[in-house]
């Protein structure tokens, strides 16, 4: 067995340099690799291309990288909670590729599966289809979408073992599994690190073969994007 444990986020992100392409797991603020993002901010990297479901919020998640203008381009499906993202996009400071959410997930999964491209009806007739090949299947037009891969994929799991096997919890099992497969190097941060054999093999979501580095995160805020409460009246 290869022991893939590193001591902390700073050690885990060694090798990530300016202008690299990163995949970052999560759905909204759920299941995001908080410790690794903080380490990227601290390292003060520039020119990053980030593939993520979202762009965080102004003071959390990828929003922290945006605040310091460390991201050159965002490839995402939902970015509506981040005012700084909006400002940078409208001012031309940030390149943005908005992708239908299902297409983003499938492009990541295809990258991990070694499938270079696929046809989908999603986005046909919109700006998403501009410049892309169109074919008709069963009387319905489809556009050609290319797979996505990254220099590094950074994911967050509930539990993991020293061999890199991962288990996600609830909604955090979102973009993390396909992204873990699509990175040339995959970094996993976990809430709980256990010994090999402690995870039930029937419930492992990401096999350790896809993970090169793993560490136990220090703290997780588990924020809520839009907190709505009922009035006492």
For the chain, domain boundaries: 9-216
Region 9-216: CATH code? 3.40.1080.10
Under DSSP, is residue 134 helix (H, G, I), strand (E, B) or coil?
Answer: strand
User: What is the overall mean pLDDT for the chain?
Assistant: 94
The pLDDT confidence band at residue 225, using thresholds 50, 70 and 90, is: low
Measured distance CA(2)–CA(162) in Å, rounded: 8
Instruction: Report the SS3 class of residue 226.
Output: coil
On the question of pLDDT at 28 being above 90, the answer is no
**Is 129 or 227 the better-scoring residue by pLDDT?**
129
66-101 pLDDT, tens digit each: 999 999 999 999 887 788 999 999 999 999 999 999
210-230 burial by CB neighbour count: b if 16+ within 10 A, else e?
bbbbbbbbeeeeebeeeeeee
Residues 6+ apart with CB under 8 A from 35: 8, 9, 189, 215, 217, 218, 219
With a pLDDT cut of 90, the percent of the chain lying above it is 82
d(CA 105, CA 177): 10
Digit-coded pLDDT (tens) for 122-154: 999 999 999 999 999 999 999 999 999 999 999
Rg for the chain (alpha carbons), in Å? 18
First to last CA, the chain: 60
Average pLDDT over residues 149-172: 96
pLDDT digits (tens, 9 = 90+) for 173-209: 999 999 999 999 999 999 999 999 999 999 999 999 9
**Other CB atoms within 10 A of residue 233 CB:** 3
Task: State the Cα angle at 14 between 30 and 76, rounded to 5°.
Answer: 35
Q: Going edge to edge, which strands form the sheet with 117-120?
A: 117-120, 140-146, 134-137
Rounded CA gap, 100 and 123, in Å? Answer: 7
pLDDT over threshold 70, residue 233 = no
């Amino acid at each position: 067995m290869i022991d893939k444990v590193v001591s902390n986020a700073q050690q885990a992100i060694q090798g990530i340099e300016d202008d690299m392409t990163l995949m970052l797991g999560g759905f909204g603020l759920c299941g995001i690799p908080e410790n690794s993002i903080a380490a990227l901010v601290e390292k003060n990297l520039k020119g990053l291309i980030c593939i993520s479901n979202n762009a965080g919020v102004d003071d959390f998640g990828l929003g922290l990288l945006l605040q310091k203008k460390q991201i050159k381009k965002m490839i995402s499906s939902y970015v509506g909670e981040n005012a700084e993202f909006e400002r940078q996009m409208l001012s031309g400071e940030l390149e943005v590729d908005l992708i239908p959410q299902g297409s983003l997930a499938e492009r990541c999964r295809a990258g991990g599966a070694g499938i270079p491209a696929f046809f989908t009806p999603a986005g046909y007739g919109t700006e998403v289809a501009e410049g892309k090949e169109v074919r008709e299947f069963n009387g319905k037009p489809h556009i050609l979408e290319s797979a996505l891969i990254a220099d590094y994929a950074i994911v967050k799991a509930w539990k993991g073992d020293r061999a890199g096997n991962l288990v996600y919890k609830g909604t955090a099992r979102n973009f993390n599994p396909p992204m873990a497969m699509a990175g040339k190097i995959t970094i996993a941060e976990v809430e709980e690190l256990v010994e090999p054999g402690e995870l039930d093999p029937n419930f492992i979501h990401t096999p350790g073969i896809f993970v090169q580095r793993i560490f136990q995160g220090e703290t997780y805020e588990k924020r809520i994007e839009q907190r709505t409460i009922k009035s006492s009246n």
